Structure 1
Amino acid sequence: MTQTPVYTALCCLLVLVAARLLGKRSSRLPMPPGPRGLPLLGNVLQMPREQEWTTFAKWAKTYGDIMRLSVFGRHIIVLSSPDVIFDLLEKRSTIYSDRPFFTMASEFIGFDKFVVMEPYGNRLREGRKLIQGNINARSASRLQQVQTSKVSQLLPKILRDNSNLRMHIRWYVAAVIFQVSHGRTIEDFEDPFVRLAETIAEDFALSVRPGAYLVDNFPFLKYVPDWVPGTGWKAVAKQRKHTLNRLRDEPFEYVKQQLAQGTAPPSVTASVIESNPKPNADDAELQRTSTAILYASAADTTVSALESFFLIMGLYPEVQKKAQAELDTVVEAGKLPDYNDRPNLPYVNALIKEILRWNPVLPLALPHSLMQDDEYGGYHIPKGSTIFANSWAVMHDPSLYPDPFEVRPERYLSPNPAINPDPRTFAFGYGRRACPGKMLAEDSLFIIVVRVLSTMTIERAQGADGLPVNRPVEYTSGAISHPTTMDCRVISRSADAEKLIIGV
């Protein structure tokens, strides 16, 4: 009798399971502790479907700062303290800097060709070098000019129309990043390149979410014919791959054409092309993938932080007043604050740190993968383990941040170095996988915070009854977390402030 693909796949599964159950570890050390799972399934039925970081933080109180889970035989290690995170992801970054391989996201869509999911190796290093060679301290002044120009366009949009605050924030981030990355001026959010990048950002978040696709846990399912029920994910993958390839190619060709015509403004992509105008095939692909992913990888995180800023100001008016008072003291009347004022604004700088800590944009840092067997703290950690750093747990540890669920910028002004460490250490990833666009994100956050607070007041929105809206604060699940609602209204602080906003 001819074997069917499904029958063959089931046999492969049984062989895989048997190998995992019968295989012996080379180390006699125990694995890290964790909640007891079921045979074969592991902890799959216990895995939270929403806001995994809060459940992992709760489990860490029982099992410790290094905890093991398993899903269909795959090892997941969750790190929940600064010491453990830095010992492994920073000090041992040579073996902890790979990315997990997702059959859906990597093999079928192609995200593993882009810096954010690239396997650790020379290609990743070269891709990061291309980005960091153009977004660094030497280019800070030019990049800050772009950010300042765009925020001058953002403020009137907010003042005229509070109801689309989220859209205005997303426009600003898109306008900054595409100006920097491709020299493209974004007039509105319907720009085709922005829509393309937004689609990819959403596709990426959906494609790498743990448990989203069965084929990630059972790779043999990729061999099941497309006509078999349950293989609709293959059509989804084809569409996402097509969109990703468009993002890789279309903005890049746009810049190449401008360079050929002599009309290209300064940009990361133009610099990359001019530095190697006749690349070989590998370098040509690296040029395209490294520049294409700038928006998709950086936009959503910056948007989330800015959304939290507006939300926090509406919830904590006393914090807003302190920041405004500092700005009024430091900045000359009739002028707008700029980057030169930064060293003289300790409370505002502390507020920005608290925005990044209170509800981190990446509650679970993007996962790392262990490249070889390791031992730590008396435990054996197997090669291939997926490593999650629970940044949310660290930033809400009351022993590090007293009253962690309250917004208290002054916590960073305390001289006690044992508590309230700088949360930026945990906000942008770790080790050799830390975000290469960190400087750009921080500068965007700073210029919006100071310009909004110097000219505007953010209040809680009013309901139909005229009373302030009082809904509980909730954030979305997923790789990047956003506030579900932004119940706030924005008004100018004075007639003079309004003139500064509209440029009169």
Structure 2
Amino acid sequence: MAIFSFVEREFITMAITSSIAIILAVLTYFIANEFVRYRARLKGIPGPTGLPIIGNLYHLYNVLPAEQYRLWAETYGDVFQVQLGNMPIVIINSAEAAKDLFLSQGSALNSRPVFHVFHKVVSKGIMSIGTSPWNDSCKKRRKAAASALNRAKTDSYDPIVKLESKELLRELLTYGKSGQEPLHYHRNIQRYSLNLVLTLNYGTRVADTKDLKSGTLSEIVYVESEISKLRSTSDNYSNYIPFLRFFEPFQKSNAHGASIGQRRRDYNKVLLSELKARIEAGTDKACIQGNVIKDPEADLSEDELTSISLSMMAGADSSTPTIEWALLLLSRMPSIQETAYKAIQKVVGEDVDPFLDADVSYVMAFTKELLRYYTVLRLALPKEAYRDAVWNGYKIPKGTAVFLNAWACNRDPAVFENAFEFVPERWLNPATEKKGISHYSFGYGGRMCIASHLANRGLYIVFLQLIANFRILPADSSSDEFGRDQPSDDSDPMKGVLVVNGIIASPKDYSLRFVPRNEKALLQALN
């Protein structure tokens, strides 16, 4: 009995000692971490108060981060800081502030921050041009890609853009049974976007929407969608809370991220190898990666070539939701469809060629307004101070992460009148052009999207041909109802978002009806 009591007392003593040690360790970490967080906060730049350890992360849970930042700007000013876990981040929320920091001090803000999840777990040294920190390799890759994407080269890719828009029209007509049945169009748009980047970058394409369900193609669709989640700047909490990284070896999510990164590298290497074989055989078609490989001044390693490919492949992730938002809007606002169609007829005549290519100012304005109004990449790719920058006399030190809130800049009332309304006509106003006003959906400053001209061209062509060939209707309406505007939450850029805190603002899935304006002419052109 005495022995049992002694063992019992020893066990209790050890349990109490262990508990005290754990509590002291947690308190020590908590105090030390709060000291680190306090020291990291930028002096003089205002911002909302956060909680210990997590900072302002709890403010961003299950909300649109870019909209929350826009609302905070009303209290803290155009430029303020948030603290996500241990990381202070400067948020830019107005056109004037963006101009001052990203143009006037552009070279100081030319780099990218390194995030633990995306850069260290997923990418493991091979990053896209857009997500790479600023260094000699990034400069070389960006220069090579820019050369392959200059205006002359971009014009040479026009046949690819037109072919893919033609194939999209074919699918919408066929699978939608000439508008007689509602069509769940997501895969058709996804195939168009994927084909565009595959053909532009590698000179290869997906033959049919059904092929997206097989082999390499389904792998690309899945992996690229997972990459978007792993790039999120409001989720992936171990980016901001170092303590969480101790548990990563035991987490399935960490292994998943590493696996996704490897799978992405694998299929890009296969596609690159196949392209090199076609170049060697002389059977390749004009494409971005081919032009880079053939450029004697580029001199890039295979990893650097893969980096360019990663940048191009990311384009499908933003063009797909942009087109889907456009279709939703057009289905709810037929007055805009008819205004655009009449503008097309004014340029090309009453008998519209199904595969026309003409400069229609209203459709160009529609494309710009669509990019502004929906801003699918609402927080532009994060930047990092390459050297010290200054705002209102306060220093933004080298190494500080800086987010351009493209969503807020595209709704800046100082630039855009009635900014929350969809008004293509704003881009037809001579005063807008005279002031050099543009949208912020491709980023801003020295690291803005190098493929912006090509992306804009691809969107313009597909919008032009969709409007020229179809009346786009809600699934539950008839062609007799065409002409009545039906604004709804599903086409609203905030209420209609599928994942509120995703890096890409995609709409929820819907079906639409695509009623051909002149089915006979379209069928003849497709055959």
Please indicate, yes or no, whether the TM-score normalized by the shorter chain is above 0.5. Answer: yes
Residues 351-387 of structure 1 deviation map (CA, whole Å, 9 limit, x = unaligned): 1111111111111111111233332113332333221
Q: How far off its partner does 1:435 sit?
A: 0.8
Residue identity opposite 1:475 in structure 2:
V
Paired residue secondary structure (2:473) = strand
Q: How many residues align?
A: 487
Q: How far off its partner does 1:487 sit?
A: 4.9
Find the counterpart in structure 2 of residue 261 from structure 1: 281
Unaligned runs of 5+ in 2: 1-13, 177-182, 491-495
Paired residue secondary structure (1:155) = helix
Pairing partner for 1:232 from 235, 238, 252: 252
CA distance in 2, matches of 1:183, 1:225: 39
Find the counterpart in structure 2 of residue 408 from structure 1: 423
Residue identity opposite 2:59 in structure 1:
Q
Bigger mean CA offset, 377-386 vs 67-76: 377-386
CA distance in 2, matches of 1:368, 1:389: 8
TM-score, length basis structure 2: 0.83
CA distance in 2, matches of 1:146, 1:376: 44
1:179 lines up with 2:196 in the alignment:
no
Residues 29-86 of structure 1 deviation map (CA, whole Å, 9 limit, x = unaligned): x422112223444323323433111111111111110011112331111111101012
Pairing partner for 1:309 from 314, 326, 329: 326
CA contact under 8 A between 1:251 and 1:292: conserved in structure 2? no
Q: How far off its partner does 1:496 sit?
A: 4.4
CA 400–419 in structure 1, closer or farther in 2 if over 3 Å, else same = farther
1:200 lines up with 2:223 in the alignment:
yes
Residue identity opposite 2:218 in structure 1:
R
CA 418–294 in structure 1, closer or farther in 2 if over 3 Å, else same = closer
CA contact under 8 A between 1:182 and 1:255: conserved in structure 2? yes
1:110 lines up with 2:132 in the alignment:
no
Residues 90-141 of structure 1 deviation map (CA, whole Å, 9 limit, x = unaligned): 2212121221211111111116522121111111111112222212211133
Find the counterpart in structure 1 of residue 475 from structure 2: 461
Find the counterpart in structure 2 of residue 475 from structure 1: 497
Residue identity opposite 1:483 in structure 2:
P
Find the counterpart in structure 2 of residue 61 from structure 1: 74
Pairing partner for 1:430 from 415, 430, 444: 444
Pairing partner for 1:284 from 288, 302, 306: 302
CA distance in 1, matches of 2:49, 2:37: 17
Residues 441-462 of structure 1 deviation map (CA, whole Å, 9 limit, x = unaligned): 1111111111121221112221
CA distance in 1, matches of 2:114, 2:54: 20
CA contact under 8 A between 2:233 and 2:503: conserved in structure 1? no
CA contact under 8 A between 2:497 and 2:508: conserved in structure 1? yes
1:141 lines up with 2:155 in the alignment:
yes
Identity fraction in percent: 21
CA distance in 2, matches of 1:285, 1:349: 37
Find the counterpart in structure 2 of residue 335 from structure 1: 353
1:359 lines up with 2:381 in the alignment:
no
Find the counterpart in structure 2 of residue 493 from structure 1: 517
CA 414–470 in structure 1, closer or farther in 2 if over 3 Å, else same = closer
CA contact under 8 A between 2:388 and 2:396: conserved in structure 1? yes
CA distance in 2, matches of 1:213, 1:419: 43
CA contact under 8 A between 1:179 and 1:267: conserved in structure 2? yes
Find the counterpart in structure 2 of residue 250 from structure 1: 270
Find the counterpart in structure 2 of residue 96 from structure 1: 109
Residues 316-340 of structure 1 deviation map (CA, whole Å, 9 limit, x = unaligned): 111111110111121142524644x
Paired residue secondary structure (2:503) = coil
Query: Higher helix share goes to which structure?
Result: 2
CA distance in 1, matches of 2:426, 2:124: 39
Unaligned runs of 5+ in 1: none
CA distance in 1, matches of 2:431, 2:65: 32
CA distance in 2, matches of 1:12, 1:245: 38
Find the counterpart in structure 1 of residue 64 from structure 2: 51
CA contact under 8 A between 1:400 and 1:420: conserved in structure 2? no
CA distance in 2, matches of 1:167, 1:140: 26
Q: Radius of gyration: which is bigger?
A: 2
Q: How far off its partner does 1:89 sit?
A: 1.8
1:322 lines up with 2:322 in the alignment:
no
CA contact under 8 A between 1:400 and 1:418: conserved in structure 2? no
CA distance in 1, matches of 2:63, 2:248: 32
Q: How far off its partner does 1:181 sit?
A: 0.9
Pairing partner for 1:120 from 130, 134, 145: 134
Find the counterpart in structure 1 of residue 5 from structure 2: none
TM-score, length basis structure 1: 0.87
Residues 222-278 of structure 1 deviation map (CA, whole Å, 9 limit, x = unaligned): 455734xxx333312331232122133111111122233333233222333333599
Find the counterpart in structure 2 of residue 391 from structure 1: 406
CA 501–11 in structure 1, closer or farther in 2 if over 3 Å, else same = farther
CA distance in 1, matches of 2:86, 2:503: 23
Residue identity opposite 1:182 in structure 2:
Y
Find the counterpart in structure 1 of residue 236 from structure 2: 213
Pairing partner for 1:382 from 375, 378, 397: 397
Residue identity opposite 1:311 in structure 2:
L
Pairing partner for 1:348 from 363, 368, 380: 363
